[in-house]
């Protein structure tokens, strides 16, 4: 018999923050090493998908999983995917003013959303990082803004009397007790690309994604997007790593091996 620690009104509320990213496996570079982003399909960030899967894994009847994303209108697609994978409702925070946000401005937007719309949530799940941006800063900043504990690199979440998270720091793996309102940042040990069933598709198709703009969330233009950012990209240049890029024929393994040896020693 499990006693759910902070279960109220018979159901738990899980919030999963997700991001839409370009499918990095489909990104190509041109001859100068520049990214060609046009025509690259967008996908649900794989790390966010793990986070959602973790939430789905602990969900019981009556619990509610809310998927939330901030992004342009097209980011709806990532949320559709979340609904197919098991989320019960979805919010898209979308407004021109949100564009160009750095971590600080992003987190301010996300935390304002939570405080206004889901203040009584039980747990928040985030992906460890975005596959395209790779700063991995949103979860911990968000935890601070919401005044909750953070559990980064979470690999496993279990409930047996208490909620427990297994965190993997590489050199150390530890298990901690988590409390109501805490935030989990999920690492991708087992990125499972689960295939939704036909029933999932039908269920998802019946759910409307709620769109919220800056006024709905109750922020002003100075707090969000580029204007609310604390960091500024002053330049972005193709890496000028001075690689020689010499190409050598290695059809004769013996010669190739000698070549490598000479290059190393």
Ligand X SMILES: Cc1cc2nc3c(=O)[nH]c(=O)nc-3n(C[C@H](O)[C@H](O)[C@H](O)COP(=O)(O)OP(=O)(O)OC[C@H]3O[C@@H](n4cnc5c(N)ncnc54)[C@H](O)[C@@H]3O)c2cc1C
CB atoms within 10 A of CB 240: 7
The encoded tokens of residue 224 equal 């969000």
Among 17, 46, 65, 212, binds ligand X (CB under 6 A): 46
The continuous run of DSSP H or E covering 258 comes out as helix 253-264
From residue 207 to residue 236, what is the string marking binding to ligand X with x (rule CB under 6 A)? ------------------------------
Q: Is 131 in the site for ligand X (CB under 6 A)?
A: yes
Shortest Å distance, C-beta 189 to other proteins: 7
CB closer to other proteins out of 3 and 251: 251
Shortest Å distance, C-beta 45 to ligand X: 8
CB closer to ligand X out of 24 and 229: 24
Packing angle of the helix pair 138-146, 103-117 (nearest 10 deg): 40
CB closer to other proteins out of 16 and 178: 178
Shortest Å distance, C-beta 23 to ligand X: 9
With CB under 6 A as the rule, give the number of residues binding ligand X: 4
Please check whether residue 226 is in contact with residue 108, taking contact to mean a CB–CB distance below 8 angstroms: no
User: Binds 120, which of ligand X, other proteins, none (CB < 5 to 8 A, cut-off by type)?
Assistant: none
Of the candidates 64, 77, 65, the one whose C-alpha atom is nearest the C-alpha of residue 20 is 77
Q: Cα separation of 10 and 69, whole Å?
A: 26
Q: Is 25 in the site for ligand X (CB under 6 A)?
A: yes
Q: Are strands 210-212 and 89-93 parallel, antiparallel or unpaired?
A: parallel
Please check whether residue 80 is in contact with residue 204, taking contact to mean a CB–CB distance below 8 angstroms: yes
CB closer to ligand X out of 107 and 131: 131
Shortest Å distance, C-beta 131 to ligand X: 4
Q: Cα separation of 115 and 107, whole Å?
A: 12
- CA dihedral angle for residue 47, residue 50, residue 51, residue 54, rounded to 10 degrees: -170
CB closer to other proteins out of 87 and 143: 143
CB closer to ligand X out of 49 and 122: 49
96 half-sphere exposure, CB direction, 13 A CA radius: 0
User: Binds 261, which of other proteins, ligand X, none (CB < 5 to 8 A, cut-off by type)?
Assistant: other proteins
Binding site for ligand X (CB under 6 A): 25, 46, 131, 188
């Amino acid at each position: 018999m499990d006693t759910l620690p902070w279960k109220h009104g018979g159901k738990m509320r899980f919030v999963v923050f997700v991001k839409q990213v370009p499918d990095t496996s489909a990104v190509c570079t041109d001859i100068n090493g520049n990214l060609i982003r046009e025509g690259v399909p967008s996908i649900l960030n794989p790390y966010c998908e793990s986070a959602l899967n973790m939430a789905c894994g602990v969900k019981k009847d009556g619990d509610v999983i809310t998927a939330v994303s901030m992004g342009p209108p097209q980011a709806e697609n990532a949320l559709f995917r979340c609904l197919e994978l098991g989320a019960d409702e979805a919010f898209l925070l979308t407004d021109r003013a949100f564009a160009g946000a750095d971590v600080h401005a992003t987190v301010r937007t996300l935390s304002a959303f939570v405080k206004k719309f889901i203040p009584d949530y039980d747990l928040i799940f985030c992906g460890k990082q975005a596959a395209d941006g790779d700063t991995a800063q949103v979860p911990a900043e968000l935890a601070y803004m919401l005044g909750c504990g953070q559990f980064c690199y979470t690999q496993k979440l279990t409930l047996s009397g208490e909620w427990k998270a297994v965190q993997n720091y590489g050199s150390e793996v530890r298990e901690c007790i988590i409390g109501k309102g805490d935030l989990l940042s999920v690492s991708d040990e087992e990125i499972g690309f689960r295939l939704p069933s036909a029933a999932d598709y039908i269920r998802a198709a019946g759910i409307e994604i709620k769109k919220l703009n800056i006024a709905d969330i109750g922020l002003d233009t100075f707090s969000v997007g580029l204007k609310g950012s604390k960091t500024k990209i002053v330049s972005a240049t193709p890496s000028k790593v001075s690689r020689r890029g010499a190409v050598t024929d290695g059809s004769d393994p013996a010669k190739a091996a000698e070549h490598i040896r000479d290059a190393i020693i």
